A = this chain, B = another copy of it.
Amino acid sequence: MRNMFKGSIRTSVLREAIDAIRAIVDEAKFNLTPTGISVRAVDAANVAMVSLELPDSAFESYSVENKITIGIDLSKFADLLKMGDPDSICELELVDSSRLKIKMGSLNYSISLLEPSTIKRDPKIPEIELPAEVILKGSDFRRGIKASEPIGDYLVIEINTKPVETFTMETEGDVDKVTLSLTKDDVFSISVVGEEKVRSMFGIEYLKEISKVTSGADEVKLKVGNDFPIDISFLLGDASVRYLLAPRIEAD
């Protein structure tokens, strides 16, 4: 019997991809298709969604006979990937639908997979139009969230055009307040369509996990509306990652 899936990929690339999904969930279904791997998952509280596209071009070699879905325990997988040299090539092989072989140099793992039907169903990505967009450095996004952590539990993201185009991250605690403001010159691009400003508030715990992943990206694109989900997308090498995070309603 031929392998259902066989591929090889730089260990560091695979690690980053797994970490991107782990920011939201502990286990996930991986859809293997002839053109690449895709993952879509939503957290237990239905607040955050992640979508990962790992195209066959991200691999050194890649072959899938027929579309198949496998379930992976992400913590275990991440632990094992840490045992390999980040620069090594990681060889993956699906022997049957319940076992994955992982080879990094002289190290061979064979791990049991999760039954996909036991994992939360793939979310449907909602179709939403978001009027404002900013592209900024992943490290700046991370910095704004880290700076907010000692102050409070919610973070307001605002994009303004008046008086000048400004991207703001703001957290207000009971008595203290922090604001990170980046103007047009500090970001790659910024725009708002049809409104003067947009503003939505989010739970900082989710943003914290997400921003650990984005800090590895040169550019992060944020799409924002008024009390709408935020759409966070970026590239990790050939992989593309996207998060949708539901807003919290601000009490006035």
Instruction: Tell me which of B106, B109, B143 contacts A107 (CB under 8 A).
Output: B143
Instruction: Decide if B76 touches A176 in the complex (CB within 8 Å).
Output: yes
C-alpha spacing A107/B112, complex, angstroms = 47
Instruction: Decide if B107 touches A150 in the complex (CB within 8 Å).
Output: no
Instruction: Decide if A147 touches B83 in the complex (CB within 8 Å).
Output: yes
Q: Which of chain B's residues has its CB closest to A84's CB?
A: B147
Chain A 87-129 interface mask (CB, 8 Å, partner B; 1/0): 0000000000000000000111111100000000000000000
Q: Which of chain B's residues has its CB closest to A178's CB?
A: B109
For A176, list chain B residues within 8 Å (CB).
Answer: 76, 109-112
A175 within 8 A of B: yes
A65 within 8 A of B: no
A179 within 8 A of B: yes
Shortest CB–CB separation between residue A158 and chain B, in angstroms? 14
Instruction: Decide if B143 touches A179 in the complex (CB within 8 Å).
Output: no
C-alpha spacing A1/B33, complex, angstroms = 67
For A110, list chain B residues within 8 Å (CB).
Answer: 176-179
**What's the number of copies of this chain in the assembled complex?**
3
A35 within 8 A of B: no
Instruction: Decide if B106 touches A180 in the complex (CB within 8 Å).
Output: yes
C-alpha spacing A225/B226, complex, angstroms = 68
Instruction: Decide if B175 touches A106 in the complex (CB within 8 Å).
Output: no
Q: Which of chain B's residues has its CB closest to A150's CB?
A: B79
For A177, list chain B residues within 8 Å (CB).
Answer: 109-111
Shortest CB–CB separation between residue A167 and chain B, in angstroms? 10
A10 within 8 A of B: no
Shortest CB–CB separation between residue A84 and chain B, in angstroms? 9
For A107, list chain B residues within 8 Å (CB).
Answer: 143-144, 147, 178-180
Instruction: Decide if B180 touches A150 in the complex (CB within 8 Å).
Output: no
A182 within 8 A of B: yes
Instruction: Decide if B80 touches A181 in the complex (CB within 8 Å).
Output: no
Chain A 132-168 interface mask (CB, 8 Å, partner B; 1/0): 0000000010011011001100000000000000000
Instruction: Decide if A150 touches B80 in the complex (CB within 8 Å).
Output: yes
For A218, list chain B residues within 8 Å (CB).
Answer: none
For A146, list chain B residues within 8 Å (CB).
Answer: 83
A186 within 8 A of B: yes
Q: Which of chain B's residues has its CB closest to A151's CB?
A: B109
C-alpha spacing A112/B151, complex, angstroms = 11
Q: Please provide the 5 A-B residue pairs with the shortest distance between their CB atoms, ordered closest to farther.
A: A112-B175, A83-B147, A108-B179, A110-B177, A111-B176
